[in-house]
Chain A
Amino acid sequence: MTQLVYLIPLFPLIGFLINGLGWRTIPKTAAGIIGSLAILASFVVSVGIFFEVNSPSFHGPVLVHLFDFIQTGKLYIPFTFQVDALSTLFLLIITGVGFLIHVYSTSYMHHDEGMVKYFAFLNLFVFSMLLLVLGANYLVMFIGWEGVGLCSYLLIGFWFKNRDYTNAAKKAFVMNRIGDLGFLVGMMMILFNYGTLSYGEFFGKLGTVPGALGENTYNWIAVCLFIGAIGKSAQIPLYTWLPDAMAGPTPVSALIHAATMVTAGIYMIARSSVLYNLAPFTLHIVAIIGLATAIFAATVAIKQYDIKKVLAYSTVSQLGFMFLALGVGAYTTAVFHVMTHAFFKALLFLGSGSVIHAMGGEQDIRLMGGLGKKMRITQITFLIGCLAISGIPGFSGFFSKDEILAATYAHDPILYYMALAAAMMTAFYMFRLYFLTFTGKFRGTHDQEHHLHESPSAMTIPLIVLAILSVVGGYVGLPAVISEHHALASYLSPVVSNAGEHHMAAGTEWLLMGLSSGLSVVMIIYAFTANKVPSFVPNTGLAKLLENKWYVDEIYDAVIVRPLAALSGLLDKFVEKSGIDGIVNGVGKGVRYGSDRIRMLQTGQVGFYIFVMVLGIVALFAITFFGVKL
């Protein structure tokens, strides 16, 4: 079965080709079916592979060699897929959640004229992400990495007639490129120091072969790769593209935020856990940046009014938690949170899509309220999502988040308290969103109220499935005090090596769990009392600062974008126009002049031709016998 792994990316690729080439002729419904079936087929193969990988008879990673990609001199990079516990888990998440999002899209996008194109892009997106996780070396990962970057650009700017949307797409692309540069440099350092990009070979050499910079090599490479992860997974300082990425259709947001793209950075670091364990300094940076992002994004989310913006910042914040987990060396925990987060965040986004669908495009939660009565399924599933992300015991988010908090506590209690604060804010802003949207009285126009309806079943069924997963998804990783057997950790253990196992006293662990869940409940009650009626009074002071996202976009604009634009204006004026243009045009003119002269030699006279040839022969003989010798 593992040998069939190439089928998994192949199906979405075929789907992309069919829909992409036939976007003029294929009917919308057919496009949806083709796109969804492609992902379903991949999912089925993934499940088959999962069972094989999960069986006790499976030993070590299986490498599936497809072809030699680059083979020149000493450089040899095969196009190979690696099937192991980590990649298989991601395969399941990507194809499983991806499939639900595709099904949802068939209904959500049905009124859009570009639906066929949309499904083509969606399939290409999934294809790229599958390449990313399947590659057995960093270059294949990088191809997928760039692929998702491109697809996110295409999908965020899907409604390209809107100027703001295309700007958001550009922003996402540029921010990602900055990170990609770090990834590229990291790859080149690996290649330079170890002569290979294959995971197995590289990790094998890591401990024994010190690089050109001695011990520091590890840190340098790890930092460069981490910069790539910062860009793709939207961490400080490169996170600003993710909230703007809301410009795309809502299912795309779900796909970017939950199943694909942003988890790429986590995957990359978890994949390179051997390297990061050798680079404790970098791990420390990872933890700090993750924690800072978690807190920072949570503060911003508190004061946002756009339903998707709140979710976007919550994604940034949750990604921060994952990086915190990576930073304290708990790689499996981070992957665990990726998984549970994929379930509940996809659920929340698709739920918000259902809300927006019902509201006829309205996204301001101040103008909603009381939607629960009209949309029971959306309300209940959304509530489950909120409970899960807030870490209420029994729901999946609780298990993974609690594990992160526990690992952080074992690493450094100060980090723990800060992370706890971020978790508290999560509970607050998520329930603020929930209460404002689904409870209370309707605050929109009469027209909208009349139009309110539950979404069709193609949209609600994915919601229900995801809601179920959001509840049960956490039981693969029970806390140590409840069960000694952590199914996910033991599943991943052959691939990912956690840095130092922490064993804390049972009492402490119970205390931490009680503390975080108790505080979450308190925050939910507080959110309920504080948000019965939204205020339209303009915010002042800190609240205004938060509403405007700490003015980070404006600061970037003033500090980086505008000086750069000014510099480029200057260069354009003085260097480009007078210098480079002159040289380029001069060369062109020179070539044309030379051409005009030389072509005169072609007289058409055979005698002259032979004469030139004889002259040439004489000259060549002169060079041979009297000229320079090597």
Chain B
Amino acid sequence: MKAIIAATILGIVMMFAGLQMKNKSSVVTLAIVLAFLLLGVNIWDLVATPATAPVGYFNNMLRIDRYALWFSTLMTGVTVLYTLLVGKEIQKVGVHVAEYFALIFFILCGVYILSCYNNMLMLFLGIEILSIPQYILAGSDKKNLKSSEASLKYFLMGAFSTGILLMGITLLYGATGSFNIVAYSFLQSDALNPLALGGVIFVMIALGFKVSAAPMHMWTPDVYDGSPTPFTAYMATVVKASAFFAFIRLFQVSFGSISSQWTVVLSVITAATLLIGNLTAVFQQSVKRMLSYSSIAQAGFMLFAVLAVNAVAWQGIIIYAVAYSIATIGIFTVLMKLKDYTYDGFNGLAKKEPLLAFVTTIFLFSLAGIPLTGGFMAKYYVIQAVMVQNQFLWLVIFGLLMAAISVYYYFRVIIAMYFKEGNAELHAPVTQGEKVLLVITCGLVILIGIFPQLLLSWI
């Protein structure tokens, strides 16, 4: 609860700081300091709340438990890393640097609400608080037509999916007479009101839109590609991970008892997401666009966790969220250093910047799920969650095949860096500080790959 308040206040502070501070880089410094402050508040929250007794707020509309606090803390940590790595790039996007950071703090506020909501209204609020700043951020490069197009597309389709979410909530209310998500857990599979089932499917589709699951994924490549790259990095990571956390919270807590009714549909969605994400990524020429398709493909794997209604799935989504976010932010950081976003832009990077090429390789290994990186452990956990469920063996096999395809487009970057002749051009030489940060990020990826338990130690 402290974190929600703090995120809001810090966002406002950031906004007013923009009026006072003319120097862009001092704005970035302030943002980094505030992000650390927010992380501190999260940790305070975490330590102060006993593990056994969740706290309810606002007539129990928010229910702050260990999972929620730990997830919020992790996502704030990722945001801190993000501001450290990407902060300098954000000031290049446009003039209102302070506002961009303010919007990111507001997004974090949404993240916190989504991690602890206990009521459908709070889910709706959280989703909107999460989304609206993103519409703005997507269009923040005002003079760039593609950016404006991305913003508008995102907004239109987002509005459409909001409608569907509200429709689902309404149907659920109609069937049960309650907005409380715990109340839905009393739904019985054998005597299920079709209204309720319809509501479940509508909510699933709306949340599927937020996490870019097929066939609701079509906005993703255009928006991710068109938005300014620093914000793409954020949308594809923290925002998506939080939407997933909201997704899994609702479907495990509320609809776990009627899982036999919706798992088949979700398995179809999962399979379609994996197929479309991976297949389409193969043909891309731009690494940025490839990464947006790969984020669809990764969403397919995260859907495994939603599909499996058990405790391992919770662990899986946390590990996946962090491992995937760190690796993706890392790779976007490298991408932003380059002038050319196509595969050819990476040609010969290993000779020019060996360290940059090396960390990129580790990030890509993680995304592809090669052992000893966080990505491997993440995939291992979500797949294990499904295997424990003992139901969707075909989907697991299909997922593994798709993971094999993903190696193709991830490793193309590595091939370009190490085996192709070329002169990868950078915007500016990479500073020592950035190198240290990238190495730390890379170290985190490997650390998670070896000791995934670290990410579960607080729950």
Q: Chain B interface: which of A96-104, A292-300, A610-618?
A: A610-618
| In the complex, B188 has a CB within 8 A of chain A | no
Q: Which of B153, B201, B268, B282 contacts A592 (CB 8 A)?
A: B282
* Chain B residues whose CB sits within 8 angstroms of the CB of A602 once the complex forms: 218, 221-222, 280
* Chain B residues whose CB sits within 8 angstroms of the CB of A595 once the complex forms: 279-283
Asked if residues B279 and A604 are in contact (CB atoms below 8 Å), the reply is no
Closest chain A CB from B321 CB (angstroms): 20
| In the complex, A447 has a CB within 8 A of chain B | no
Within 8 A of A (CB), among B418-459: 451, 453
Q: How many angstroms from the CA of A628 to the CA of B264 in the assembled complex?
A: 8
Q: How many angstroms from the CA of A621 to the CA of B265 in the assembled complex?
A: 8
Interface centre among B198, B215, B384, B451 (most CB of A within 10 A): B215
| In the complex, A24 has a CB within 8 A of chain B | no
Given contacts A629-B264, A630-B264, A613 and B283 within 8 Å (CB-CB) = no
Asked if residues B260 and A630 are in contact (CB atoms below 8 Å), the reply is yes
Closest chain A CB from B107 CB (angstroms): 23
Within 8 A of A (CB), among B28-52: none
* Chain A residues whose CB sits within 8 angstroms of the CB of B453 once the complex forms: 68, 71
* Chain A residues whose CB sits within 8 angstroms of the CB of B157 once the complex forms: 606, 609-610, 613
Asked if residues A613 and B160 are in contact (CB atoms below 8 Å), the reply is yes
| In the complex, A536 has a CB within 8 A of chain B | no
B residues with a Cβ closer than 8 A to A are 153, 156-157, 160, 164, 194, 197-198, 201, 204-205, 209, 214-216, 218-219, 221-222, 260-265, 268-269, 276, 279-284, 384, 391, 405, 408, 451, 453
| In the complex, A540 has a CB within 8 A of chain B | no
Closest chain A CB from B49 CB (angstroms): 26
Asked if residues B263 and A609 are in contact (CB atoms below 8 Å), the reply is no
Q: How many angstroms from the CA of A591 to the CA of B222 in the assembled complex?
A: 22
Could you jot down 20 A-B contacts, CB within 8 Å? A67-B451, A71-B453, A595-B279, A595-B280, A599-B284, A602-B221, A604-B222, A609-B157, A609-B218, A613-B218, A615-B215, A616-B205, A617-B164, A620-B268, A623-B268, A628-B264, A629-B260, A629-B261, A630-B260, A630-B391
Closest chain B CB from A32 CB (angstroms): 29
| In the complex, A112 has a CB within 8 A of chain B | no
Within 8 A of B (CB), among A546-594: 588, 591-592, 594
Closest chain A CB from B124 CB (angstroms): 19
* Chain A residues whose CB sits within 8 angstroms of the CB of B279 once the complex forms: 591, 594-595, 598
Extra A-B contacts (15), CB below 8 Å, given A71-B453, A594-B279: A72-B384, A591-B408, A592-B283, A609-B153, A613-B157, A613-B160, A613-B215, A616-B215, A616-B216, A621-B198, A621-B201, A624-B197, A629-B261, A630-B260, A630-B391
Closest chain A CB from B281 CB (angstroms): 8
Q: Which of B197, B201, B405 contacts A591 (CB 8 A)?
A: B405
A residues with a Cβ closer than 8 A to B are 67-68, 71-72, 588, 591-592, 594-596, 598-599, 601-602, 604, 606, 608-610, 612-613, 615-617, 619-621, 623-625, 627-630
Asked if residues A625 and B205 are in contact (CB atoms below 8 Å), the reply is no
Residue of A nearest to B409 (CB): A595
Q: How many angstroms from the CA of A619 to the CA of B453 in the assembled complex?
A: 40
* Chain B residues whose CB sits within 8 angstroms of the CB of A601 once the complex forms: 218
Q: What are the nearest 5 A-B pairs in CB distance?
A: A616-B215, A609-B218, A595-B282, A595-B283, A595-B279
* Chain B residues whose CB sits within 8 angstroms of the CB of A619 once the complex forms: 215
Asked if residues B221 and A624 are in contact (CB atoms below 8 Å), the reply is no
Residue of B nearest to A609 (CB): B218
Asked if residues A625 and B160 are in contact (CB atoms below 8 Å), the reply is no
Closest chain A CB from B117 CB (angstroms): 24
* Chain B residues whose CB sits within 8 angstroms of the CB of A609 once the complex forms: 153, 157, 218-219
Given contacts A595-B280, A604-B222, A624 and B215 within 8 Å (CB-CB) = no
Residue of B nearest to A623 (CB): B265
Residue of B nearest to A588 (CB): B408
* Chain A residues whose CB sits within 8 angstroms of the CB of B219 once the complex forms: 609
Closest chain A CB from B362 CB (angstroms): 17
* Chain A residues whose CB sits within 8 angstroms of the CB of B261 once the complex forms: 624, 629
* Chain A residues whose CB sits within 8 angstroms of the CB of B201 once the complex forms: 620-621, 624
* Chain A residues whose CB sits within 8 angstroms of the CB of B218 once the complex forms: 601-602, 608-609, 612-613
Closest chain A CB from B361 CB (angstroms): 18
* Chain A residues whose CB sits within 8 angstroms of the CB of B160 once the complex forms: 610, 613
* Chain A residues whose CB sits within 8 angstroms of the CB of B384 once the complex forms: 72
* Chain A residues whose CB sits within 8 angstroms of the CB of B221 once the complex forms: 602
* Chain B residues whose CB sits within 8 angstroms of the CB of A610 once the complex forms: 156-157, 160
Residue of B nearest to A622 (CB): B265
Closest chain A CB from B214 CB (angstroms): 8
Residue of A nearest to B149 (CB): A604
Residue of A nearest to B281 (CB): A595
Q: How many angstroms from the CA of A612 to the CA of B283 in the assembled complex?
A: 21
Q: How many angstroms from the CA of A615 to the CA of B218 in the assembled complex?
A: 13
* Chain B residues whose CB sits within 8 angstroms of the CB of A624 once the complex forms: 197, 201, 261-262, 264-265
Residue of B nearest to A596 (CB): B283
Residue of B nearest to A620 (CB): B265
Q: How many angstroms from the CA of A621 to the CA of B262 in the assembled complex?
A: 10
Asked if residues A606 and B197 are in contact (CB atoms below 8 Å), the reply is no
* Chain A residues whose CB sits within 8 angstroms of the CB of B276 once the complex forms: 598
Q: How many angstroms from the CA of A469 to the CA of B205 in the assembled complex?
A: 78
Q: How many angstroms from the CA of A68 to the CA of B391 in the assembled complex?
A: 30
Q: How many angstroms from the CA of A468 to the CA of B222 in the assembled complex?
A: 79
Q: How many angstroms from the CA of A619 to the CA of B451 in the assembled complex?
A: 42
Closest chain B CB from A621 CB (angstroms): 6
Q: How many angstroms from the CA of A127 to the CA of B209 in the assembled complex?
A: 52
Asked if residues A613 and B216 are in contact (CB atoms below 8 Å), the reply is yes
* Chain A residues whose CB sits within 8 angstroms of the CB of B282 once the complex forms: 591-592, 595
Q: How many angstroms from the CA of A620 to the CA of B282 in the assembled complex?
A: 27
Residue of B nearest to A72 (CB): B384
* Chain B residues whose CB sits within 8 angstroms of the CB of A72 once the complex forms: 384
Q: How many angstroms from the CA of A572 to the CA of B48 in the assembled complex?
A: 65
* Chain B residues whose CB sits within 8 angstroms of the CB of A604 once the complex forms: 222
Given contacts A609-B219, A624-B261, A599 and B268 within 8 Å (CB-CB) = no
* Chain B residues whose CB sits within 8 angstroms of the CB of A613 once the complex forms: 157, 160, 209, 215-216, 218
Q: How many angstroms from the CA of A630 to the CA of B267 in the assembled complex?
A: 12
* Chain B residues whose CB sits within 8 angstroms of the CB of A617 once the complex forms: 164, 205
* Chain B residues whose CB sits within 8 angstroms of the CB of A621 once the complex forms: 198, 201
Closest chain A CB from B273 CB (angstroms): 11
Q: How many angstroms from the CA of A415 to the CA of B372 in the assembled complex?
A: 50
* Chain B residues whose CB sits within 8 angstroms of the CB of A596 once the complex forms: 283
Residue of B nearest to A71 (CB): B453
Closest chain A CB from B454 CB (angstroms): 11
Q: How many angstroms from the CA of A594 to the CA of B275 in the assembled complex?
A: 10
Residue of A nearest to B268 (CB): A623
Q: How many angstroms from the CA of A591 to the CA of B214 in the assembled complex?
A: 18
* Chain B residues whose CB sits within 8 angstroms of the CB of A628 once the complex forms: 264
Residue of A nearest to B272 (CB): A616
Closest chain B CB from A151 CB (angstroms): 20
Q: How many angstroms from the CA of A604 to the CA of B282 in the assembled complex?
A: 19
Q: How many angstroms from the CA of A598 to the CA of B451 in the assembled complex?
A: 38
Asked if residues B264 and A612 are in contact (CB atoms below 8 Å), the reply is no
Interface centre among A595, A610, A621 (most CB of B within 10 A): A595
Asked if residues B451 and A612 are in contact (CB atoms below 8 Å), the reply is no
Closest chain B CB from A614 CB (angstroms): 9
